[in-house]
Amino acid sequence: MRPIFISYRREDTEGQAGRLFESLREIFGEHMVFMDVANIEPGADFRRAIETNIDRCAVLLSLIGRTWLTVTDREGKRRLDNPNDFVRLETSSALKRGVKVIPVLVQGASMPQEADLPVDIKDLAYRNSVELTHARWDSDVQLLINALRESAGEDSQEGDTPITTRGRRNAKADGVSHKRMWTIGGAVAAVALMGAVALKMSEPAHEAKADTSFASQPVPAAVPSSAENQAASGNQMVSKKDLQRAAHERGACVKPFVWRQAQPRDKVCVMPDTQQRILDENSKASENRSPTGGPYGPDTCKTGCVWRNAFPGDTVCVTPESRQLTADDNLLGPKRIVPLPKEATDQAAQ
């Protein structure tokens, strides 16, 4: 199988890109989904680095939010008009190389029109798009996954099984496909079982007093534990304590908390309105930076704003009040995950 590349603009769809990355990584594996062109060596031509990474992929997912077309740089110029804009380079490289490009609309965004696009990516306007909505995220992503399986050539690489005709496999390939479907189905059943177990558990000392069930959004993407693998196999009984312990190790939030997503892998548990505030701060980050730079270069905040510090290196500029709220969430986050079973807690105390 050839990898999947997620192209996105941080100021526009960073939160949705991270969420989609986690969802796809659960299905295709962490080495089969790329989000950023990372580790470009000093002095290397980043244009060639982008072309090399895109050339290895079967599909480029172009995440388009409400501000994808209009995000500007510090000089007030539209970023998409800059020939060296990373998003433009990624898209044009994929179109030029015949890599399948799928526009993925989020935040209720509309497809860009040909007249709004630079010459080298005008063809994007004619690519059939998919939409991911907050309310139907799981089902929308599943439809995308079904399309990606064929586009990324997953079945053609499984066990060196040959393709007999386009979209049709021989009997051996069908057996592999059915086995994978059963495995995925078992994993889904395991997650559902974990949710049902957590609904019936309560922990008086836990911060979320009324409920210890899992937050439905976003879905954790950690590698399944041995307990979850047993549940997915369908041939072993797994105790409630094992499932609870597995959920704790994955950092699953209890209701009503969800992952904060200040960055794609941010798993601090916060309230949904806090998650939305964080995503809004990410999308408006450029508005709170000094237009003339300063002691910290382009990361210098305008007067009255400070770095958020949700994680090391978080230079999103926010109000001092927001930074304090974020610090409080960092402190309280560990108390908002599914608690360890009492038995495990007692053993740890000994």
Question: Using one digit for the tens of pLDDT, what is the confidence trace for 97-151?
Answer: 899 999 999 988 999 999 999 999 999 999 999 999 888 888 888 889 988 887 6
Is the predicted pLDDT of residue 76 greater than 70, yes or no?
yes
- Give the list of residues 6+ apart from residue 43 with CB closer than 8 angstroms, or none: none
Proportion of the chain above pLDDT 90, given as a percent:
26
Question: Using one digit for the tens of pLDDT, what is the confidence trace for 184-235?
Answer: 455 545 544 455 444 444 333 333 333 333 333 343 334 444 544 554 444 4
Q: Are 218 and 264 in contact (CB under 8 A)?
A: no
What letter would DSSP give residue 318?
E
Is the predicted pLDDT of residue 317 greater than 70, yes or no?
yes
Question: Using one digit for the tens of pLDDT, what is the confidence trace for 271-314?
Answer: 989 989 998 898 888 888 888 888 888 889 999 999 999 988 88
Give the phi and the psi of residue 79 in degrees, each rounded to 5: -60, -35
At 216 the pLDDT is 33
pLDDT band at 323 (very low <50, low <70, confident <90, very high): very high
Question: Using one digit for the tens of pLDDT, what is the confidence trace for 158-190?
Answer: 333 222 222 333 333 444 444 444 444 555 455
Domains along the chain?
Answer: 4-152 (3.40.50.10140), 169-250 (no CATH), 268-336 (no CATH)
> What SS3 class is residue 336?
helix
Neighbours of 241 (CB within 10 A): 16
Q: Are 169 and 178 in contact (CB under 8 A)?
A: no
pLDDT band at 155 (very low <50, low <70, confident <90, very high): very low
HSE of 209, CA atoms in CB hemisphere, 13 A: 2
